[in-house]
């Protein structure tokens, strides 16, 4: 029976890849997966030192880890991160599509460069990484997307491009669940609300308004989002589902 608790060792012997795992939700997820017994690969673009620190902390937990420089906007690097993970760690059981970029602003101010960058990372890169991962996974494989609360409620202007890109992942998740279910592979998506990270700090200039939009009146933590991801990494009878970890942002 699936319950919202985990105990050390539930992912023992599993290999996980967390894209964008050098900081924030990605780093917290990598560490929680390692605490549950998984070996972990993380990708990064510019956060080499952060990725190295995650590797050290995972290894301190007694698990194997590797940091891979891979830009999800690059089709070859996005898919190649899966191959490099399997070469370094001997397989792949859990993929967490966490890497993402956000460009916020008025609709008439969004350039073609903005559109291409966001869709390349948030949609195409996720699709290609998931496609490559599915080819390596057997029964028990897990594909987990990191979406956003803005797919369920857009509280104001300026989020058109970001919400569009992340909404595409909901359709991808449900389609993957149907296609991969017969092989015993699940696909789910987690929608974080305002989350305290260096990209969007709870003490930042726009934080008060974001917190006020949640039912709990506060930012979430990266660890709270990571807990849901870790649960899904071990859950057997959950697939094609959306999980809001948003403090009631969509309530």
Token reading at 155? 């509280």
Of the residues 44, 162, 231, 237, only one is catalytic, namely 162
> Strand order in 186-192's β-sheet?
65-69, 39-44, 15-18, 94-97, 142-146, 186-192, 242-245
- Angle between the 24-35 and 222-234 helix axes, to the nearest 10 degrees? 50
Q: Output the CA angle 196-202-207, nearest 5 degrees.
A: 125
CA distances from 23 to 13, 45, 53, 55, 184 (A): 24, 11, 9, 12, 31
- Report the alpha-carbon distance of residue 230 to residue 233 in Å, rounded: 5
- 189, HSE (Cβ side, Cα atoms, 13 Å): 22
DSSP helix/strand/coil, 52: helix
- Is 44 known to be catalytic? no
Matching residue, tokens 């999800």: 72
Which residues are designated catalytic? 162
């Amino acid at each position: 029976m699936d319950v919202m608790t985990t105990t050390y060792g539930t992912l023992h012997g599993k290999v996980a890849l967390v894209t964008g795992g050098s900081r924030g939700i990605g780093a917290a997820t990598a560490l929680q997966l390692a605490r549950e017994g998984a070996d972990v690969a993380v990708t990064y673009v510019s956060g080499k030192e952060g990725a190295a620190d995650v590797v050290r902390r995972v290894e301190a937990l007694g698990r194997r880890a590797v940091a891979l420089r891979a830009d999800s906007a690059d089709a070859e690097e996005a898919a190649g991160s899966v191959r490099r993970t399997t070469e370094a760690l001997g397989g792949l059981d859990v993929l967490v599509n966490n890497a993402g970029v956000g460009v916020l602003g008025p609709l008439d101010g969004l350039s073609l460069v903005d559109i291409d960058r966001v869709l390349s990372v948030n949609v195409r890169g996720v699709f290609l990484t998931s496609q490559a991962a599915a080819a390596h996974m057997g029964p028990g494989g897990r594909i987990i997307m990191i979406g956003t609360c803005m797919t369920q409620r857009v509280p104001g202007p300026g989020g058109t491009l970001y919400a569009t890109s992340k909404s595409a992942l909901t359709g991808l998740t449900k389609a993957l669940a149907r296609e991969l279910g017969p092989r015993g592979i699940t696909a789910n998506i987690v929608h974080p609300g305002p989350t305290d990270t260096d990209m969007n700090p709870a003490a930042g200039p726009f934080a008060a308004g974001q917190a006020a939009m949640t039912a709990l009146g506060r930012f979430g933590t990266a660890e709270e989002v990571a807990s849901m991801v870790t649960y899904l990494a071990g859950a057997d009878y959950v697939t094609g589902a959306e999980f809001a970890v948003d403090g009631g942002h969509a309530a």
